Chain A
């Protein structure tokens, strides 16, 4: 089949480079700490040699018999104030009150530190050099004690982080304004604040041999299908890469299809959106250092929905959704339809319009397909240029684009006004897509359809649309058909697609292949007009 051929071709391009063991020498599993103070110190310094941000701070533990202590931490990842004010201070002060039977010796020191001296910092112990290294790299402070084979590890994560602010890509008018940031902990807390139930489960695992990126899988127990959660876990565990620098890395590994033009996971920076998805029985995947969070399974219609839809009134939200759908079709089809109509099916155009267009096109040298294509490419260039440039220069780009290219080209008679209008309308329509990624799919397909329209007119457009439809119906996201609830049809779920039913009517959750708690709320909660007699009675009673 085509898919397999494609996979094969991609496989030839990057022949298998061998298993990870060959790719990167894996250190042996265990290297226990010894009781030899010098050896431990030397080993640890060796591990962190040439790491300018690794700090080795010697101090002493003030007990009956002072013990030498070595603090190891990365100053870039830790909270300096906490180290100097809490940890070092309490180490130098020594234990305030020790029970009589406990005496401080190298053998008991770790326990004393853990239970009596640093107990406020939730320390743990480690007996392994590699484990200790890993913990230190995670922003903990390693405390090496003289002659002791156990190191105490104190969490002291710190460092700079971006403050929570409104996600720029998904602005909102009503509803919450907070957006995910780079810190995984903060992101989980944003979800937890909205879902104060112990049924919200958060599982973390580590991906990336070098980056050791924490990835969290969130779901609501009892709503998400266990098989779905297991499938997410399985696909995440299967990933074996050096580095994960953003959720996009993970997305391509866990998607159902090798290559798809449409996003198979939903990415969002809005915690309210993720929470809503969790409540529908979906699974969220949060990636450390990435504000865009993934939600699976993803359906096509969810890419056309914005969280805003649920905060404004139901009729308005329905109107906006229909508008968005129209805009999607304009963005996809308008250039192609223009070319098809004006070069194949002129009979569809009213005669007055046709003569107007013909007049403006009299002195234009190029056929309409080339014109539209050139204007589309110009627009794509401008858009990309505006996106990558600093904001101040971006304005210059729009001036050049709008004024110089648009107006001047028309006035000079190189292009007719029609393609300019078409491209402008297409561009505006494409900006209404609430999801940036689906906008990019539409951009690619627009060119595909444009070329087909130039070759075969309306027939070509239909051929292209059927191919797109076949692709869309064949896609699945974590086993859920991409076009559900339309095909396969599940009528009850149509309440939240092109229309948005009022909240009191959203009685059932989406069917996502048999959710376990189908009912969301009590069915009879629709607002009711107070009956005349009823209110009077009520008044009398009060």
Chain B
């Protein structure tokens, strides 16, 4: 096995793929990167058995062969080589030699037989979607904040990709709040799949600036994200996601339009006083024109901020300030809608113009 490639390209690829190989895996070979060359195609692969990252590396010279090398060591060695030089990696038995100009080292590799085979998407049976990278990144970031890390409820530790009314939407909830974003209109194929949040985070981290589009393919129990030279294959969470659309209240009788920046500011102010009461703040719409955010901390004092807006019906709701801030930061437009009906039902936050993103937050017991 032999490859020759520029230091930048190799270093970037190794940095991307080695993240998941620096783990606490009991199986030592999972800390290695698999380098496979066949027909002048070079692929670098790592896996943690929940997901796998593949990088197809464009090289100038190559000889067929396959070997595994400790990923972290290789990545760090290459990243410290001078930029602009070519790097040559060759293997003989399990000795892997890395050469670049005056620098050279030999790393003990492991034969590839023990490296797990990476499951593959069945292209014929898969459902494929394509989406712009910026849109994808923004949308996942807007939704993933609401996902849970409670491992006793696996369904909530992922982001739910589902289609309805010919729209592909992604959603996540931790039981206290829920975020949904419609990401693609007019889709023809259907999908219902929970992608682990950790896998999606890896996808987000791995997307580089020069990529425009991402292709997402779903199989029965696998998902593959393909962008630029990289492919990330991940298991799906085999659980049923709550039927969340029913949880989004439809007819809210109290609806106010608010300036997002202003609401963020008053929420932060209220949050200062809400610390000792678990972040609980009171949002109140008062006819005809006041929206107030209040918090009371018995030891420190209290805070009451007001925003002028149009209010048609009065009402109030107790919310966790951190959840509200998360939601507000995920919204994009300068003006947002804040809708609720009574203390039992959640508050619904949306952009004023676009209806693609919906964030709901459960009220706290008053």
Asked if chains A and B come from one complex, the reply is no
Give me the interface of B with A, judged by CB distance under 8 Å: none
